[in-house]
Amino acid sequence: MGHIDALSRSPTSLPQDTEMELLDERLEVFVTMTEEEKVISMQRTDTRLKEIMEILGREQTGCSATDNEIVKNYHMQKWILYRKVNVDGEDKQLWVVPNAMHKSIVIRFHDLAGHFAVDRMVNKIKERYDFPRMRRYAQVHIRCCPECVLLKVPRGKQSGELHPIKPGKRPFEVVNVDHIGPFVKSTKGNSYILVLIDNLTKYVQLYPVKIHVSHIKGYHIPEDEEEPDEPTTTHDGLKGSQTTGERPRMERRPPGWQMSYQM
């Protein structure tokens, strides 16, 4: 039996049950609570709802204007806190859900009810329950639902594909050009900064300019395409390309552009 590994050997000692396992074998406790009893119990553990119920329990003469604003549209009925909510033009008295029950409510009406979308899910919840920022909470829950993320096909306009710019084979073959600003005008009248970044080495050149010259026309020359009629030129005299952050606005180059671009 020398070939038998350690996992196949007989136990050398008797198993020892934990305290909880021993109690589970001897005791079985069943707690039966109605939906109303559960809501009553959870409402009294919520700090915000306890304050509202305390104000509602006072006499009307003992409440300030601030207290009356806090308990507006709230009322107690059979030990349950209700809130009057207008749903599709109809006033409804809905149970106020404490923070501790938000997760269980959305799981019941989404995970256990067919993975409905936001609108249908919120409408189902509002038939009986109410809590602040319900729609936003439902949206976050649905975005984090594994079944919805993996199985449901997203609708509407889809995100475009990423087309990264190739860095080039030598420095200053591809230059990224953009502007930042406006800043406080300098003594020379400059309000913007022209930023030139080499896409390969990440070398940066900054030039103060007076206007937002977003009319720069740049293009990248792929290796398998013909060169354009007017290729750009870098400071070392080699043909290259420019990429700009915005679409052209002006056709005429302003005076001083060649000076600001020279490196």
Q: Which residue spans of the chain are classified as CATH 1.10.340.70?
A: 31-151
Which letter does DSSP use for residue 100 in this model?
G
For residues 16 and 27, give the distance between their C-alpha atoms in angstroms, rounded to a whole number.
Answer: 18
Indicate if the pLDDT at residue 204 is higher than 90: yes
**Cβ atoms of residues 196 and 165 within 8 Å:** no
According to the model, what pLDDT value does residue 136 have? 92
3-state secondary structure of 98: coil
Lowest mean pLDDT among 104-113, 121-130, 230-239: 230-239
Q: pLDDT, tens digit, for every residue of 232-257?
A: 444 444 445 555 554 433 333 444 43
Contact 129, 97 (CB under 8 A): yes
- Any idea which of 59-68, 144-153, 218-227 has the lowest mean pLDDT? 218-227
Q: 31-151 sits in which CATH class?
A: mainly alpha
pTM above 0.85, yes or no: no
- Specify the higher pLDDT residue, 202 or 37: 202
H/E stretch holding 82 reads: strand 80-87
Q: Are 199 and 165 in contact (CB under 8 A)?
A: yes
- Residue 193 in tokens: 């900064």
Q: Six-digit token pair at 201?
A: 């080495």
